[in-house]
């Protein structure tokens, strides 16, 4: 891992984008790393494009700005492509929720969240990111889900833990790699 790993999560308002960024940051913290997560809203209404920014480092993070050249992008809604420049500045890879292959300039991991019975998709996409990059561990991701969703009840926590374990059980990372 370089000094600071920067991640942008793209999605739509109400689609779990802010929660996904928060899960990544909390899981990184449980892995003993420094982290920060913060959202950026546009029109602040359901269905509008939303981004969440995450930084992860083994050292203190002093930056407090938007991320313009992320190492990774997580795209939770493929219909954003063409409306939002999800490829902009991405240095490493994109993890994209799609049922069909979409060819983008950076290395792209295609993940079909419908395969994992995840109604919102954010748990699947964060688990795919963790599996594909190794930046956060499965154990810490599960621990973050237990903490973040415990108020919603054991059924939600159990379902989300199962999704994470199912993603990690996949033979490929997460489903297929498109260049």
Tokens 């963790």 — which residue? 130
6-15, 31-40, 71-80, 100-109: segment of lowest average pLDDT: 100-109
**22 versus 103: which is more confidently predicted?**
22
Q: Is the pTM of this model over 0.75?
A: yes
Identify whether 37 is part of a domain: yes
Cβ proximity of 115 and 128 under 8 Å: no
Please report the pLDDT score of residue 27 as a whole number: 98
Where residue 152 sits, what CATH number does that domain have? 3.40.920.10
3-state secondary structure of 111: strand
* Tally of structural domains, the chain: 1
Please report the pLDDT score of residue 175 as a whole number: 52
Using alpha carbons, list the distances in angstroms from residue 120 to 20, 63, 97, 113, 141. Answer: 10, 30, 11, 9, 17
The DSSP result for 25-36, as a single string, is HHHHHHTT-EEE
Identify whether 86 is part of a domain: yes
pLDDT digits (tens, 9 = 90+) for 20-59: 999 999 999 999 999 999 988 665 667 788 999 999 999 9
Cβ proximity of 50 and 41 under 8 Å: yes
pLDDT digits (tens, 9 = 90+) for 130-166: 998 999 999 999 999 999 999 999 999 999 999 999 9
Please report the pLDDT score of residue 41 as a whole number: 66
Identify whether 179 is part of a domain: no
Please report the pLDDT score of residue 40 as a whole number: 81
Domain assignment of residue 19, given as a range: 4-174
Mean pLDDT of the chain: 89
Q: How far apart are the C-alpha atoms of 11 and 95, rounded to whole Å?
A: 12
The DSSP result for 34-93, as a single string, is EEEEEEEESS-STTSEEEEEEEEESS-----S--SS-SEEEES-GGGBTTB-TTTT--SE
Identify whether 50 is part of a domain: yes
Region 89-102: what's the mean pLDDT? 90
Q: HSE (CB half, 13 Å, CA atoms) of 55?
A: 18
């Amino acid at each position: 891992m370089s000094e600071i790993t920067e991640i942008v999560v793209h999605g739509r308002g109400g689609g779990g984008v802010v929660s996904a960024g928060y899960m990544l940051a909390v899981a990184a913290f449980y892995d003993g790393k420094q982290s920060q997560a913060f959202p950026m809203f546009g029109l602040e209404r359901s269905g509008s494009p939303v981004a969440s920014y995450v930084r992860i480092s083994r050292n203190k993070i002093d930056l407090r700005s938007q991320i313009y050249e992320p190492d990774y992008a997580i795209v939770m809604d493929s219909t954003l492509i063409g409306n939002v420049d999800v490829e902009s500045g991405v240095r490493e890879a994109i993890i994209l929720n799609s049922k069909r292959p979409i060819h983008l300039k950076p290395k792209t991991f295609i993940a079909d969240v419908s395969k994992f019975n995840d109604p919102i998709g954010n748990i699947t996409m964060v688990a795919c990111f963790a599996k594909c990059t190794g930046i956060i561990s499965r154990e810490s991701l599960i621990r973050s889900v237990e903490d973040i969703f415990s108020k919603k009840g054991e059924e939600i926590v159990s379902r989300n833990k199962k999704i994470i374990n199912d993603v990690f059980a996949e033979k490929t990372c997460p489903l297929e790699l498109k260049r």
